[in-house]
Chain A
Amino acid sequence: MRLLLFIICCILTLQACTSGSQNKKLPILGEREAVETQVKGKTVVDTIYQTVAPFSYLNQDSVRVSNSDFDGRIYVADFFFTSCNTICPQMHRNMLKVYEKFKGNPQVKILSHSIDAKYDVPSRLKKYAGKLGIEGNQWEFVHGSSDSIYNVSAKNYLVAAYEDKTDPQGFVHQGWFILVDKNKHLRGAYDGTKADQVELMINDMQILLDEQGGDAK
């Protein structure tokens, strides 16, 4: 009798655990604004969440890549430069795990912005991608003017990236991986230099795909 009770307890606990993780919903990050609208004579408050503003860059194949290439897809954005030997190798060592995990999945993309516009021209990005073993355009390495990249990092993705003459490498940037959903809302920020954070992000990406699986365009 006691044993039976114990087993039932165990099963219940286990179930509680699994259903808990299945129901996990990712928060929407960034600025938000409450907007009042009139619907059928009643005042309704809607929340407008921050979305990634339109962008347009050249990728490693010198092909123009814009926000519309990410429509109906979830993606991870980060900031790096090819000659960086501090956090970038760690970030991309971890990002490779994400790439391997979702390779060939048309609903998932990766967007790496180079913050070194002078040096990292598309041909250099192509070489870098090749050495990492990246083929195709699921993982985009993009080149844009410094101003637009620094602007995008701060405003779109809330990541600090800028030139700093006092830094030995000339740049200051953070190693965040920003998870963006199909509606271009920010859904997560993970420290790209830490393997366990990236592991968490891979889980969250699956959760996001499950949540948004229906409205793929």
Chain B
Amino acid sequence: MRNRVLYILFTVACLCIFIQACQSEQEITYARYYVNGKGLYEKYCQNCHAPDGSGLKNLYPPLTDTVYMKDNLGKLACIVKYGLNDTITIGGQVYDSKMPATTELTDIDVTQILVYIGNSFGNKLGTFDMKEVSSQVKECR
């Protein structure tokens, strides 16, 4: 009887550790993406979009508008890599300055930038999957 209890306890403990290990693996990936994304953001995005994502007046749009982000989830990867030549409206303000392409960004770079932007400046989009980003980037043009 005692052995059985011990056995069950041991199994449950193992399972718990297992699940936690899995979760933390995901969390580690997310954290890694976020940190790398921050570095890439500082290098490629921050000049125009500002360290706090506020943009620059009516010249460059802010990244703080959670509605635009959510509505255009599928387009974000393409915008990061190939820029934007369109007129967009964010928070009632029209922006028509051209955003340049940054074609040297790899799929993992784009994913990491999206994870950083998507979870900073008030956005809470969670993590992004690199495979999905890759397939979106292929369809861009």
Contact = CB atoms under 8 A, between A and B. Distances in A.
Interface in B33-84: 47-48, 50, 56-60
B47 A86 contact: yes
A93 interface: yes
A87 interface: yes
A87 B47 CA distance: 7
Contacts of B60: 89
A63 interface: no
A86 B45 CA distance: 9
Interface residues of A, number: 15
B77 to A, nearest CB: 20
B100 interface: yes
Contact of B97 (A88, A92, A131): A131
A169 to B, nearest CB: 9
Main secondary structure of the interface of B (DSSP, over half): loop
A49 interface: no
B58 A85 contact: no
Interface in A120-138: 128, 130-133
Contacts of A88: 47
A89 B56 contact: yes
Interface residues of B, number: 11
Contacts of A132: 56-59
A158 interface: no
Nearest to A87: B47
Nearest to A134: B57
B57 A89 contact: no
A85 B99 CA distance: 9
Nearest to B95: A131
A96 interface: yes
A89 B59 contact: yes
Interface in A28-69: none
Given A93-B50, A132-B56, 19 more contacts: A83-B98, A85-B47, A85-B48, A85-B100, A86-B47, A87-B47, A89-B47, A89-B48, A89-B59, A89-B60, A92-B56, A96-B57, A130-B58, A131-B58, A131-B97, A132-B57, A132-B58, A132-B59, A133-B57
Among all A-B residue pairs, the 8 with the closest Cβ atoms? A131-B59, A131-B58, A89-B48, A89-B47, A132-B57, A133-B57, A89-B56, A85-B48
Interface of B: 47-48, 50, 56-60, 97-98, 100
Interface of A: 83, 85-90, 92-93, 96, 128, 130-133
